[in-house]
């Protein structure tokens, strides 16, 4: 073998375009395969397109009545609940807003104490502020409120949250965080993590999501002070096991934000969009400024007000699924006021109040006030009406919660004592 056989005379052109075409083809195929895989893994490759949706018009704040607490109810419509991110990526404009509106997990109000609170639940002090989704992707970060309107558009240290060439993260990378924006310290308090770095946590338990949230958020640098590429600080909130000390800590502990009640999350619950009894909100005057609903002027009405939906057989129902019946409306009123099926109507609860039989609502003393504000999309939920009713009459107190934990402890202890003797 003469060595010059392997040495290419270098004046002969070394370019083989066919080889180059072959290699570029393989490169393209490998890239496409990777994309397809990634898409399958992430459920979504193109949440990017959600952000380029038409600019949002800010909702007129004054239109929203009785909604000083940001997590006011939004019920699922006739739309399928399990609309996934991939489908969402095909939506445009107003549909995007609707989609986002349905993506938050909305706690029910705590109207009685769930079993096994100490074992199966977390508790944390809910920051007062605007509940929103924070989405980072393609080098930018957008926060959207429940109604889909954009709160901020900014660079952040979240994965894919700013245009920094650090080579990390693929084009498909994105994050979706469930946050409350706290005006006073201009901080996004992350109360839940829905997607992180391209991977969906929707079908993960709260236990896992909180664990992931705590390790990843810190690691990403998103908790650092604001800087040029990181306009707002993010922060996790301290989450406790809902035992006696945990509940006490959440209730009385000092946090850097104004509290607005306590949130209880069932450890085993997946991130479920819409209302869920596996997340609960509870508040009293000690831990919230907004215990009793106010009206549009910020004043507490003398009588509790509720918004109910009119059905075609004159029934008045809540937004729950299935709806809870509160009563029937006089045919007269319907005719006089020109009401139609589906209208949202405002009522006061009269002195007759609500009466229950076997824990079920039997009768409600409703006084018709008029149509609700146009901005309202949904009627009140049963748990909200009941919580507000209880607040005015016989509130669920922190002591009741603590007592429930203690009694559960006692019950748990008994059998184990017996076993130990035996």
Give residues in contact with another protein (CB under 8 A). 2-4, 7, 9-13, 15, 17-18, 21-22, 24-26, 28-29, 32-33, 36-37, 40-41, 167-170, 173, 196-199, 201, 203-205, 207-208, 211-212
Give dist(CA 277, CA 106) in Å, integer: 9
What's the min distance (Å) between Cβ of 412 and another protein? Answer: 23
What's the min distance (Å) between Cβ of 204 and another protein? Answer: 5
Looking at the Cβ atoms of 43 and 128, the one nearer to another protein is 43
Question: Strand, helix or coil at 110?
Answer: coil
Give dist(CA 177, CA 218) in Å, integer: 14
Looking at the Cβ atoms of 170 and 337, the one nearer to another protein is 170
Closest to 44 measured CA to CA, from 103, 101, 2: 103
Instruction: Report which DSSP code applies to 285.
Output: T
Helices 244-252 and 398-421 sit at what angle, rounded to 10 degrees? 160
What's the min distance (Å) between Cβ of 192 and another protein? Answer: 15
What's the min distance (Å) between Cβ of 133 and another protein? Answer: 20
Looking at the Cβ atoms of 125 and 201, the one nearer to another protein is 201
Give dist(CA 174, CA 422) in Å, integer: 56
Give dist(CA 68, CA 34) in Å, integer: 47
Give dist(CA 73, CA 75) in Å, integer: 6
Q: What phi, psi does 313 have (nearest 5°)? A: -95, 30
Place of tokens 């006011």: 72
Place of tokens 């059998």: 415
Looking at the Cβ atoms of 20 and 393, the one nearer to another protein is 20
Looking at the Cβ atoms of 9 and 55, the one nearer to another protein is 9
Question: Strand, helix or coil at 357?
Answer: strand
What's the min distance (Å) between Cβ of 3 and another protein? Answer: 5
What's the min distance (Å) between Cβ of 48 and another protein? Answer: 14
Strands 344-357 vs 325-328: parallel, antiparallel or unpaired: unpaired
Looking at the Cβ atoms of 49 and 343, the one nearer to another protein is 49
Task: Please give the biggest Cα pair distance in the chain.
Answer: 108
Looking at the Cβ atoms of 204 and 292, the one nearer to another protein is 204
Place of tokens 């558009």: 153
Looking at the Cβ atoms of 208 and 368, the one nearer to another protein is 208
What's the min distance (Å) between Cβ of 233 and another protein? Answer: 24
What's the min distance (Å) between Cβ of 196 and another protein? Answer: 8
Looking at the Cβ atoms of 273 and 372, the one nearer to another protein is 273
Contacts 24+ apart (CB under 8 A), 54-59: 54/92, 54/93, 55/150, 56/97, 56/144, 56/148, 56/149, 56/150, 57/149, 58/149, 59/147, 59/149, 59/375
Element (H, E) at 143: strand 140-145
What's the min distance (Å) between Cβ of 262 and another protein? Answer: 25
Strands 150-154 vs 305-310: parallel, antiparallel or unpaired: unpaired
Looking at the Cβ atoms of 2 and 254, the one nearer to another protein is 2
Q: Which two tokens stand for residue 49?
A: 């397109």
What's the min distance (Å) between Cβ of 88 and another protein? Answer: 17
How many C-beta atoms surround the C-beta of residue 245 within 10 A?
Answer: 11
Contact, 368 vs 347, CB < 8 A? yes
């Amino acid at each position: 073998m003469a060595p010059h056989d392997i040495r290419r005379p270098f004046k002969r052109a070394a370019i083989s375009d066919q080889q180059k075409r072959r290699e570029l083809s393989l490169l393209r195929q490998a890239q496409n395969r990777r994309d397809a895989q990634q898409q399958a893994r992430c459920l979504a490759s193109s949440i990017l397109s959600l952000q380029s949706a038409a600019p949002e018009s800010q909702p007129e704040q004054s239109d929203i009545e009785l909604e000083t607490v940001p997590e006011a109810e939004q019920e699922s419509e006739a739309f399928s609940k399990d609309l996934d991110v991939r489908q969402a990526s095909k939506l445009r404009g107003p549909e995007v807003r609707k989609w986002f509106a349905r993506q938050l997990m909305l706690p029910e109000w705590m109207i009685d104490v769930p079993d096994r609170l100490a074992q199966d639940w977390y508790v944390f002090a809910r920051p007062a502020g605007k509940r929103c989704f924070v989405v980072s992707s393609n080098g930018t970060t957008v926060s959207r409120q429940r109604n889909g309107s954009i709160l901020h558009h900014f660079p952040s240290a979240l994965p894919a949250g700013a245009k920094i060439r650090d080579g990390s993260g693929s084009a498909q990378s994105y994050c979706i965080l469930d946050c409350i924006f706290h005006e006073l310290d201009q901080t996004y308090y992350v109360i839940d993590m829905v997607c992180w770095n391209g991977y969906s946590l929707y079908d993960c338990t709260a236990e896992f999501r909180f664990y992931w949230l705590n390790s990843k958020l810190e690691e990403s640098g998103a908790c650092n002070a604001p800087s040029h590429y990181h306009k707002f600080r993010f922060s996790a909130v301290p989450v406790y096991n809902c035992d006696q000390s945990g509940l006490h800590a959440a209730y009385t502990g000092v946090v850097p934000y104004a509290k607005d009640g306590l949130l209880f999350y069932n450890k085993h619950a997946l991130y479920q969009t819409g209302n869920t009894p596996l997340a609960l909100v509870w508040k009293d005057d000690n831990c919230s400024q907004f215990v009793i609903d106010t009206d549009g002027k910020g004043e507490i009405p003398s009588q509790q007000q509720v918004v109910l939906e009119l059905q075609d057989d004159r029934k008045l129902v809540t937004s729950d699924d299935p709806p809870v019946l509160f009563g029937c409306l006089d045919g007269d009123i319907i005719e006089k006021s020109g009401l139609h099926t589906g209208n949202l109507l405002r009522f006061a609860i009269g002195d007759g109040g609500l009466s229950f039989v076997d824990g079920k609502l039997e009768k409600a003393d409703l006084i018709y006030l008029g149509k609700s504000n146009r901005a309202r999309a949904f009627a009140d939920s049963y748990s909200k009406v009941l919580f507000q009713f209880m607040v005015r009459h016989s509130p669920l107190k922190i002591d009741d919660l603590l007592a429930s934990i203690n009694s559960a402890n006692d019950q748990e202890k008994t059998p184990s004592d017996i076993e130990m003797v035996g």
